[in-house]
Chains A and B, each alone.
Chain A
Amino acid sequence: MISYIIRRLILAIPTVILVTLFTFIMIHLVPGDVVDLMTGTQNYLTQEQLRELYRSLGLDKPLMIQYFSWIYNLLKMDMGISLRTGEKVLKMILERIPVTFELAVFSITIAVLIGIPLGMLSGVRRGSKVDIIARIFGLAGLSAPTFWVGAILIVLVSRAFPKFKIFGYTPFFENPISNLSSILLPSLTLGLLISSQVMRITRASVVEILAQEFIRVARSKGLPEKMVVWKHVFRNSAIPVLTTAGIQFGYLLGGTVVIENIFSIPGIGRLVFEAVSKRDYPTVLGSVLFITATIVILNIIVDVIYTFVDPRVRLE
């Protein structure tokens, strides 16, 4: 087990490096660079000033040298500074990743707490009223754009509870209660949306498994229905559900821009999106590095959990 984990971690390093290289190439190939974004269409700088600006940003060196000096600095735990604000990239990321992380964790938790029971119930009692309602709920979650749900929640909550502080974020250690209330609506929005995915996959798994041979065998052995359901169904459907949850969590890490914008949450989704839009290369690289590393570690964890949940799965 331990050796497996270590092996995976070591293998993860080239993946992460490759991702950063890919990102680096991409962001330099996309037309428009950081100076273009800075000056916009109100460019008053002379050629000489422009050259000086590029030099001061370190962008006058050949691309490969820029990349390798970034890697070199990385080994010294220095991610450089933002080309736009001069702030240290590492500091910015460390300030914002916990926020998005908290949002993701709460969202997935809500999603799982709603999705799995609903999915199991509806899968076991196919065709019943519960099943139909659950399926409609599931479909609603799939088709509603994030923005929609968030906006509707904002409008509803602001009408019903005008004093409730909808926008902004307070760090946990500053004020735990305020922190939880600031993360409530955004995670509810995302949680509801994701729960429908979780529910559907759970239900599908459950239906599949119930139909399979070994369930019949278990039933014929005379085991009580409940045991059949819990022991076998749960175990077998766990893997796809886990995978889905894992995938969603990964997407959340980079894809929460819209929610972060609407609810004014200073997370990393916003940071990455803005950095890419403004071609703030060090920030983009640093953020992608962090997000990639987190997702890779997450996948390792999920794969390890597979083995606990379903003994038939062996680690390579």
Chain B
Amino acid sequence: MKLKSLLVLLIFSFALIVFAGGTLKLALETEPVGLDPTVVTAFASHRILELVYSSLLTYDRDMNLIPDLAESYEVPDPYTLIFKIRKNVRFHDGTPLTIDDVLFTFERIRNPKTGSPILSYFKDLDRIEREGDDKVIFRFGKPVVMSILPVFASANTAILSKKFVESGANLMLKANGTGPFVLKEYVAGDHITLVKNKYYYNPGLPKLDEIKIIFMPEEISRVTALKTGQVDLALINETLSLRSLPETQFTVFRKPVLSYYLLGLNTKRKPLDNPKVRLAISHAVDREKIVKLVAMGEGQVTGPLSPLLKKWAVPLKELPGYKRDVEKARELLKEAGYPNGISFKVMTSRKYNFDRIAQVLKDQLKDAGIDLQIEIVEWGIFIKRWKERDFDSFVSLNSGSIEPDIQLYRTFHTGGSTNVFGYSNPLVDKLLDEGKKETNFEKRREIYAKIQKILAEESPVIFLYSPNKIYVGQKYVKGFEVLSNEKIIFLKETYLEK
């Protein structure tokens, strides 16, 4: 048995050497933190999981939800969601996919002992039914189907092989999915090798034979590796690096993302408990300048919903507080009872661009008589204090979503799980609840437009900007695209034109 597999391996490697032309070397900055799809939250893990596993839905290049492992889906009413599962799909170990695997996966997600981060999305789920051998029906007790649809495109709902999981395999280290690539090798701290899934159900895909993902935490390493041709594609975090990677020699893949930087305000602490003060801060900030100074223009100003969501976002010029007006800011402060200005602290960390944004904010706010004192703490300490609401204000990055309810509900509803600002507005609560349930698109749009205007006026959070996600590749890398939710699933359509 051992000899046979050795022989197969030998032939396989030989074949790879002879026919490889399609190996892409990709440099990323963080390695995954565990590979169990149901459980892990780290984006660095999801990036890999989305190539190895499939979920029922996925995104197309325009960020629309389309069926993936499901052949089709329908929403007959806001309480019901029906998926028709594809036939003739195999897991990487050859096991055929059946409806039992789908049911098993969701059972695992809903089992509190598993600790899945998306469990709360299913709290209104009454039951899951099977119909025939290819239909799965989700029945909810509340009309929430439209708002949780994107969850079915997340790596957290990736379909697992019942047989594989029950065999006791450690999902954190081993993967067996139905995705376009197979996890061949994972050397912690160094690299991951993915090879083409020859039985992938989308004909003609993936185009690459192999992807070697190398982990290089330092930007300078990734940039140099690109320049010397040692990697074909790399994630770039510093916009300045683009100066060394001119578009005459490289292809720059950029996409504005849904995540957004924010200045979060603790509405339970003086002087931030007064909405006029908060609006004053909003007026004192020059968001365009921040994008220029911190991101060198690689980003766009955002409101409570990203302007990328053309269907939902209220145009920025219609939002209160979005035009920099230092005089107005001072006036508002006077009205609020602070004619001599105010002073408060901002907690931040040396991650992404947080500390840089804080510096620019400090500089801008002083023009309106607002003294911002910067406190830089270690990331672990930041998280702890964020959770315990031990801050006057903070600068950080929130993830966004194409679905307004997912983006806004838990952050601004009274008692929401990420509402660390202590914000509570009964009108906003009512609107959020309505928006969750409403199924008519026009009505929903109206509701969320109202919410955005109120949030801009009351500013529990100063929304700043959404950065561009940038990948740079050699000229021969084609077919790649990064999505606004930062996913790189289109590696499945990437090819090398040498």
Touch between chains A and B, by CB atoms below 8 Å: yes
A residues 268-290 in Cβ contact with B at 8 Å? 270-271, 277-279
Q: How far is the CA of A263 from the CA of B216 in the complex (A)?
A: 8
CA distance A92 to B112 in the complex (A): 30
Q: List residues of chain B with CB within 8 A of the CB of A42.
A: 41, 398-399, 418
CB nearest neighbor in A for B398: A41
Asked if A169 and B190 make an inter-chain contact with CB atoms under 8 angstroms apart, the answer reads yes
B381 touches A32 (CB 8 A): yes
Is A65 located at the chain interface by the 8 A CB criterion? no
Contact present for B384 and A264 (CB under 8 Å): no
A31 touches B384 (CB 8 A): yes
- CA–CA, A48 and B189, complex, Å: 33
Asked if A279 and B221 make an inter-chain contact with CB atoms under 8 angstroms apart, the answer reads: no
Q: For residue A223, give the distance in angstroms from its CB to the closest CB of chain B.
A: 54
The closest CB in chain B to the CB of A257 belongs to B217
Task: List A residues 157-216 near B (Cβ within 8 Å).
Answer: 158, 162-169
Q: Mark B234-260, 1 if CB is under 8 A from A, else 0.
A: 000000000000000000000000000
The answer to whether A30 touches B380, judged by C-beta atoms less than 8 angstroms apart, is yes
B198 an interface residue at 8 Å Cβ cutoff?
no
What B residues does A48 contact at CB under 8 A?
112
Cβ contact within 8 Å between B190 and A168: yes
Tell which of A95, A270, A277 touches B379, judged by Cβ atoms closer than 8 Å: A277
Query: Are A271 and B220 in contact (CB-based, < 8 A)?
Result: no
Interface residues of A in 125-182 (CB under 8 A from B): 151, 154-155, 158, 162-169
B228 touches A162 (CB 8 A): yes
Task: Collect the chain B residues with CB atoms within 8 Å of residue A168's CB.
Answer: 190-191, 214
Asked whether B172 lies within 8 Å of A155 as measured between CB atoms, the reply is no
Is the pair B224, A85 in contact by a Cβ cutoff of 8 Å? no
Which residues of A sit under 8 angstroms from B33, Cβ to Cβ?
38, 84-85, 278
Which chain A residue lies CB-closest to B420?
A41
Complex Cα distance, B215 from A162, in Å, reads 20
Q: Which B338-376 residues have C-beta < 8 A from chain A?
A: none
Are the C-beta atoms of B113 and A41 separated by less than 8 Å?
Answer: no
Selecting from A4-12, A49-57, A71-79, A297-305, the interface stretch reads: A49-57
Instruction: Please tell me if the beta carbons of A32 and B227 are within 8 angstroms of each other in the complex.
Output: no
Whether the pair B119, A46 counts as a contact (CB closer than 8 A) is yes
Whether B115 contacts A87 by the Cβ 8 Å rule is no
Please state if A92 and B188 are interface contacts (CB–CB under 8 Å).
Answer: yes
B417 and A43 within 8 A (CB): yes
Q: Decide yes or no whether B229 CB sits under 8 A from chain A.
A: yes
B220 touches A154 (CB 8 A): yes
Contact of A43 among B113, B214, B227, B418 (CB under 8 A): B418
With A32-B380, A263-B221, A266-B189 in contact, do A85 and B118 touch (Cβ < 8 Å)?
A: no
Question: How distant is the Cα of A154 from the Cα of B228 in the complex, in angstroms?
Answer: 11
Task: Report B148-169 CB contacts with A as 1/0, cut-off 8 Å.
Answer: 0000000000000000000000
Q: Within 8 Å of chain B (Cβ to Cβ): is A309?
A: no
Question: Contacting B34 at CB < 8 Å: which of A30, A33, A86, A151?
Answer: A86
Expressed in whole angstroms, the Cα–Cα distance for A130 and B496 within the complex equals: 55
The answer, among A53, A86, A155, for a CB contact under 8 Å with B224, is A155
- Once the chains bind, are A44 and B214 in contact (CB under 8 Å)? no
Q: B221 — which chain A residues lie within 8 A by C-beta? A: 154, 166-167, 261-264
Contact status A167-B380, CB under 8 Å: no
**Shortest CB–CB separation between residue A32 and chain B, in angstroms?**
3
Known contacts: A44-B117, A45-B117. The answer to whether A30 contacts B381 by CB under 8 A is yes
Shortest Cβ distance from residue B425 to the other chain A in the assembled complex, whole angstroms: 22
B18: CB under 8 A from chain A? no
Which chain B residue lies CB-closest to A165?
B230
A263 to B230, CA, bound (A): 13
Give chain A residues whose Cβ lies under 8 Å from the Cβ of B396: 41
Select from chain B the residue with minimum beta-carbon distance to A258: B218
Which residues from B are CB-within-8-Å of A155?
224
Cβ–Cβ contact A36 & B383, under 8 A: yes
| B398: chain A residues within 8 A (beta carbon) | 41-42
> In the complex, which residues of chain B have a beta carbon less than 8 angstroms from the beta carbon of A166?
221, 224-225, 228, 230
> Most A CB atoms within 10 A — which of B187, B189, B190, B381?
B189
Give min CB distance, A113 to chain B, whole Å.
Answer: 27
Give bound CA distance, A202 to B42, whole Å. 50
Say yes or no for B387: interface residue by CB 8 A criterion.
Answer: yes
By a CB distance below 8 angstroms, the chain B residues around A279 are 380
Q: A85-B34, A92-B188 are in contact. Are A158 and B383 (CB under 8 A)?
A: no
Q: Which of A37, A53, A277 has the most CB of B within 10 A?
A: A37
**Pair A52/B115 contact, Cβ less than 8 Å:** yes
Given contacts A42-B418, A49-B115, A85-B173, contact A31 B381 (CB under 8 A): yes
Q: Contacts of B382 on A, CB cut-off 8 Å?
A: 32
Chain B residues with CB under 8 Å of A52's CB are: 112-113, 115
Q: Indicate which residue in B41, B119, B172, B380 contacts A85 across the interface (CB closer than 8 Å).
A: B172
Q: Which of B188-227 contact A (CB under 8 A)?
A: 188-191, 214-218, 220-221, 224-225, 227
Q: Is the CB of B383 within 8 A of A32?
A: yes
Among the interface residues A44, A262, A278, which one has the most CB atoms of the partner chain B within 10 A? A44
The answer to whether A154 and B224 touch (CB under 8 A), given A37-B383, A52-B113, A86-B173, is yes
Q: Closest chain B residue to A56 by CB distance?
A: B115
B379 to chain A: which residues have CB within 8 Å?
A: 32, 37, 277
Complex: A39 Cα to B118 Cα, angstroms: 12
Q: By the criterion CB–CB under 8 Å, are B188 and A39 in contact?
A: no
Q: Is B13 an interface residue (CB 8 A)?
A: no
- Neighbour of B188 across the interface among A40, A41, A44, A87, CB < 8 A: A87
Pick the residue among B34, B191, B217 that contacts A84 (CB under 8 A).
B34
A96 interface residue per 8 A CB criterion:
yes
Instruction: Output the residue of B118, B190, B229, B384 with the most chain A CB within 10 A.
Output: B190
Residues of B within 8 A of A39 (CB): 41, 117, 383
16 A-B residue pairings within 8 Å (CB atoms): A33-B380, A38-B33, A42-B399, A44-B118, A44-B410, A84-B34, A85-B172, A151-B220, A158-B227, A158-B228, A162-B227, A261-B218, A262-B221, A264-B216, A266-B188, A266-B190
Q: Which residues of B contact A (CB under 8 A)?
A: 33-34, 41-42, 112-113, 115, 117-120, 170, 172-173, 187-191, 214-218, 220-221, 224-225, 227-230, 378-387, 396, 398-399, 410, 417-418
19 further A-B contacts with Cβ under 8 Å, apart from A84-B34, A163-B228, are A32-B383, A32-B384, A38-B33, A38-B42, A40-B41, A42-B398, A46-B120, A49-B115, A56-B115, A87-B172, A154-B220, A158-B224, A158-B227, A162-B229, A263-B221, A264-B216, A271-B189, A277-B379, A278-B33
**Closest 8 A/B residue pairs (Cβ):** A32-B380, A266-B189, A86-B172, A32-B384, A31-B384, A36-B383, A261-B217, A266-B190
User: Chain A interface (Cβ within 8 Å of chain B)?
Assistant: 30-33, 36-46, 48-49, 52-53, 56, 84-87, 92, 95-96, 151, 154-155, 158, 162-169, 261-264, 266, 270-271, 277-279
